[in-house]
Amino acid sequence: MLDITLPVPKPEPNDLLVQVKAISVNPVDIKVRQRAKPEGTEYKVLGWDVAGVVTQVGTDCALFREGDEVFYAGSLVRQGANAEFHLVDERIVGHKPKSLDFAGAAALPLTTITAWELLFDRFRIISGKSGDAGHLLITGVGSILIQLARRLTTLTVIATASRETTKRWCIDLGAHHVIDHSQPLRPQLEGIGIPAVEYIASLNATDQHYPGLLTVLAPQGHFGLIDDPATLDVLPLKQKSAALHWEFMFTRSLFQTADLTSQAGC
C-alpha cells in the first residue's frame, strides 16, 4: 500500500464527486488486490464501501445535489474509494441514513445490498407482513439478512451457529430459531417441526455444508450462495427441481444493467 497524491477526478455526466468521509474493508478488497493490476503507469485504488458528501454533480445527474450525504458500494471496474475524492455513478448511490454517522453508514452497503438482492431479487420474496412466505435457513450468520427477513417479510428465519454467544446474538437480531451447523441439520429442523425449508442462503463455507443443506431443501426450493466453492455439483438439485442463485451485488454496475437505479434504493 502506498501513500500517494492524485488529482481530483472530474465527473462524467452521471457521476457524483464525493468527498470520502469513511470507508470499510470487505473480502472483495482482498480478492481484487490479489488479481487486479494497474493500467500502464496508473495507480490502482481499492475500496468500495463508502460514505461521504457530494461536492460536485455531473451534467445529467438528477438524484443528488452538492452537500448531500451519501453512502454506496462502488463499481469494480472503476477506481476505488480509498482516497479523499471519489467518482461514482449516481444510480448506485443512496442517501446516508440520518441515524448513522459516516463510519456506521460506510459499514453497510456491500453486506446490505447483498442481503437485499438475495431476498428480493434472487429469491423474489414478496416484501410485506401478510401471508406465509415459508422458511429461510441461513448458514454463515448473516446478521443483515436475518434482520431484513424478520422485519420485512413473513419468512420463518432459521439461523445457524455453534457457539452460545453467537446463538444469542442471532436471536437478538430476529431469528425465530437457531440450529448448530456443526451437527446434522435435518434432525435439528425436525425437532422444531420444520422438515424442510423453501429457501437456503449459504453465506460461507458452502462446499463444506452443501451436502447437508441439500437434504433439508424443499422440493422446488431455492438455494442461494455468495461465496466461491471450488466445485459445486448441481445435479442433486435436479430431482427436486430446485433453483440455484448466485448473488453478486456488483453485477448491476459491472454490466450497466437496465435496472441499475434500483440498487440505489436497497
* Cβ atoms within 10 Å, residue 247: 20
pLDDT for position 1: 63
Same fold, 15-106 and 111-246: no
Tens of pLDDT along 93-133? 999 999 999 999 999 999 999 999 999 999 999 999 888 99
**Cα–Cα distance for residue pair 148/22, rounded to 1 Å:** 24
Cell triple for residue 47? 475500496
Give me the residue spans of the domains in the chain. 15-106, 111-246
pLDDT for position 75: 94
Which H or E run contains 223?
Answer: strand 217-225
pLDDT for position 35: 77
The matching CATH number, chosen from 3.40.50.300, 3.90.1330.10, 3.90.180.10, 3.30.70.920, for 15-106 is 3.90.180.10
pLDDT for position 31: 81
**CATH code for residues 111-246:** 3.40.50.720
pLDDT for position 130: 85
**pTM reported for the whole predicted model:** 0.92
Which candidate, 118, 121, 153, 120, places its Cα nearest to that of 138? 118
pLDDT for position 265: 57
Segments of the chain with pLDDT less than 50: none
